Chain A
Amino acid sequence: MPGIDECLLEAMRLPGARGAALVDWTSGLALGTVGEAPGGDHETTAAEAAELARLAAEHGAFSTEDDTEVSPPVEDLIVSNRDSYHLLRFVVTSFDATVFLHLWLTREDGNLALARIRLGEMAERLVLG
């Protein structure tokens, strides 16, 4: 069964992966990090990504139409810029937690579709075994 570090190392095996982190979007705490961070500092990146994740998770505009109790309703966020992709995948837990996986990919080598599917599987395996 994978722990946090194994999960992040697995994410780093995706093509074009530069860095990965597991972040709490309420506090901005990085629960685990591997690889590089944009700007060189994982803690700053975690705090900034957490802000974006929190807005997406909490604002009604991004919720689903059915009223199921999955929290948060958003599955993932994709941010792209000229040289990289950022993929934020919310981890759905059976206990009360507000965490997401953050994967940073180079635009040249990264495969966004593949990364999105894999990161979803990893988020599930992390908490379901």
Chain B
Amino acid sequence: MTVVETPPPLPVRDRAALHERAPGALSPMLIRLAEERATGVLVREHGTLHLAEGRVVHAESPLAPGLDVLLTARGTLDAAAWPWTDDIPAALHRLLAAGLLPRGALELCRLGALYDAGYFALAPSSTPGRFRYGDPAAAGPLPAVPVMDLERETLRRRELLHRIWPDPTADGAPLIRADPVAPPPVTPRQRAVLDRVDGVRTAPQIARELGRPAFHTLVDVRRLAAAGLLAPRSPALVPPLLPPVTDPDIALLKRLRDALEAL
């Protein structure tokens, strides 16, 4: 008998529900900063967002590979050619001016990296965010992303992961391979992830090694977990990377914190 596995559908944003929750479903502080067209850096527990006039020009997270990793991992850009600087907009300027990368490729990779790091930066956190005003020169040569777009996309991505496999433990824990009785077929991209599962590496580490966006790696990790091909190591000991927010007490505390943050 042929068994065709149908993957869960990609979630579509429910606009009605969104309006009830938004704006500020993820970070009221961010919405306020967008409204006042602030320029500066928002530092949150799992990442930072760089704003120029209330729009996101750059995002980074220790959990998501940066543009430098994505572009040099597979030789798109020679590591020596990357303008090693913390100032990403300036780096983009230099890459474009030097003609090292076509504009389309750079836009594509940078937008992907921005939404990727933004997903982690806007993850539920246990500490309040801080905003440092300053440096209006932060605007880069590529278009900035509206805060609401990043928030909506982040919510949609959470839902996508949840639909694939509702247990977030595998997102941040060291992964081990499981050995199901009848292993389902694995796609080449999933194979690359599975080959690096060794009981030590976590999904973000695998993403970095592959030079692949971390969220894309999480999608494959959750699919592999759902298929029974991998599992988080000793889930009881390792706290999930992004704590689930379904507990009403936690949700209440988070709302309280967000409200305080917004004052």
Contact = CB atoms under 8 A, between A and B. Distances in A.
Nearest to A96: B212
A28 B112 CA distance: 12
A3 B12 contact: no
Contacts of B109: 93, 95, 97
A3 B107 contact: yes
A59 to B, nearest CB: 8
Interface in A15-71: 22, 24, 26-29, 31, 43-44, 47-48, 50-51, 54-55, 58-60, 71
Contacts of A28: 10-11, 156, 160
B130 interface: no
Interface in B83-135: 99, 101-105, 107-109, 111-112, 115
Chain B residues touching A, range? 35 or more
Interface residues of A, number: 38
Given A24-B112, A95-B70, 6 more contacts: A7-B104, A29-B115, A31-B111, A44-B13, A47-B11, A96-B211
B12 A97 contact: no
Contacts of B10: 27-28, 47-48, 50-51
Instruction: Give the secondary structure class of A's interface.
Output: mixed
19 contacts: A3-B103, A3-B142, A4-B108, A4-B111, A22-B108, A27-B10, A29-B115, A43-B12, A44-B13, A48-B12, A51-B10, A54-B7, A59-B187, A94-B75, A98-B216, A126-B105, A127-B105, A129-B101, A129-B104
Given A27-B215, A28-B160, A31-B112, A95 B7 contact: no
A99 interface: yes
Contact of B219 (A1, A27, A48, A128): A27
Given A26-B216, A43-B12, A58-B189, A2 B103 contact: yes
Interface in B13-65: 13
For the complex of A and B, the 3 pairs showing the least CB-CB separation, nearest first, are A129-B102, A126-B104, A28-B10
A128 B103 CA distance: 9
Interface of A: 1-4, 6-7, 22, 24, 26-29, 31, 43-44, 47-48, 50-51, 54-55, 58-60, 71, 91, 93-99, 125-129
Contacts of B103: 1-3, 129
Interface of B: 7, 9-13, 70-71, 73-76, 99, 101-105, 107-109, 111-112, 115, 142, 153, 156-157, 160, 185, 187-189, 210-213, 215-216, 219
A4 B210 CA distance: 25
A127 B74 contact: no
Given A43-B13, A48-B12, A128-B102, A96 B107 contact: no
